[in-house]
């Protein structure tokens, strides 16, 4: 099965309000081009160095999503072109993104990442940390970032009910933040949840962005 065919098959299972982010990390530019030729425009990468190497080799209308842990000293490399940063987990990071966005005379869309999984290794904030951030004077002074929603990763488990509960928790966090901080803000609308193994559950629980890698590009080889 080819990459283009995989894109079409995954897309057919998604309702119209859900956008597919094709996660191309570790995959060569040729694979990304195959997906592009099948009509895919949004791609996700989780390493700054890999993203900045690939970006100039692909068409300018590719929409790059940053989905990995982002170090503050690397924001400057992706600030000129990144379309959405899914993984904001601190005010300090947001301040750097704002500064780099301003230098590039643009606004960068960001999602707040929440820790919803049982594993302690996964990054993300708690709802309390997010509330503190959103209430702070420092945050409210930023004007080159736009908080567009939330992101989370479920526990790596075969237990569908655990995964469903965690996605439901993220949807609930989204609803509460929307009500408290963004009720008038139509930009706050994204719930980034769901990967190859759990995206159908995520869609049932209200996902608007699914991040799918191996189902499209095949298993990754880590060297």
- Smallest separation, CB 138 to ligand PLP (Å): 26
6 vs 215, beta carbon nearer ligand PLP: 215
| Binding-site ranges for ligand PLP (CB under 6 A) | 23, 25, 46, 67-68, 153, 195-197, 211-215
Q: Compare residues 11 and 196 and give the one whose CB is closer to ligand PLP.
A: 196
Cα(151)–Cα(171) distance, integer angstroms? 10
Rounded-to-10 torsion of CA 2, 158, 42, 110: -170
Q: Given the complex with ligand PLP, which of 94 and 117 has the nearer CB atom?
A: 117
Which tokens is 148 given? Answer: 């567009």
Minimum CB–partner distance for residue 151 and ligand PLP (Å): 8
* β partners of residue 63: 42
Are 150 and 112 in contact by the 8 Å Cβ rule? The answer is yes
Residue closer to ligand PLP, measured from CB, 60 or 223? 223
Nearest to ligand PLP of 183, 221 (CB atom): 221
Considering the complex, what minimum distance in angstroms separates the CB of residue 196 from ligand PLP?
3
CB of 140 to ligand PLP, least distance (A): 28
125-128-129-135 Cα dihedral, nearest 10 degrees = 140
For 76, other C-beta atoms within 10 Å of its C-beta total: 15
The distance of closest approach from Cβ of residue 139 to ligand PLP in the complex, given in angstroms and rounded to an integer, is 24
Is residue 65 a contact partner of residue 83, using CB atoms and an 8 Å limit?
yes
Task: Name the residue number minimizing CB distance to ligand PLP.
Answer: 213
């Amino acid at each position: 099965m080819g990459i283009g065919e995989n894109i079409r098959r995954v897309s057919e299972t998604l309702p119209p309000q859900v956008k597919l982010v094709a996660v191309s990390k570790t995959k060569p530019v040729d694979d990304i081009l195959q997906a592009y030729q099948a009509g895919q425009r949004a791609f996700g990468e989780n390493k700054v160095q890999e993203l900045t190497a690939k970006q100039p080799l692909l068409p300018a209308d590719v929409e790059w999503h940053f989905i990995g842990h982002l170090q503050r000293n690397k924001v400057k490399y992706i600030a000129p072109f990144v379309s959405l940063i899914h993984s904001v987990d601190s005010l300090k990071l947001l301040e750097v993104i704002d500064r780099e966005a301003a230098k590039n005379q643009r606004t960068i869309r960001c999602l707040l990442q929440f820790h919803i999984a049982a594993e302690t290794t996964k990054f993300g904030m708690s709802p309390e940390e997010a509330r503190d951030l959103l209430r702070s004077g420092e945050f409210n002074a930023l004007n080159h970032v736009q908080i567009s929603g939330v992101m989370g990763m479920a526990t790596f488990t075969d237990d569908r009910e655990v995964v469903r509960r965690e996605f439901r928790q993220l949807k609930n966090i989204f609803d509460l933040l929307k009500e408290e901080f963004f009720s008038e803000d139509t930009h706050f609308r994204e719930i980034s949840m769901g990967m190859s193994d759990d995206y159908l559950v995520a869609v049932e629980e209200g996902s608007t962005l699914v991040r799918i890698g191996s189902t499209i590009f095949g298993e990754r080889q880590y060297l």
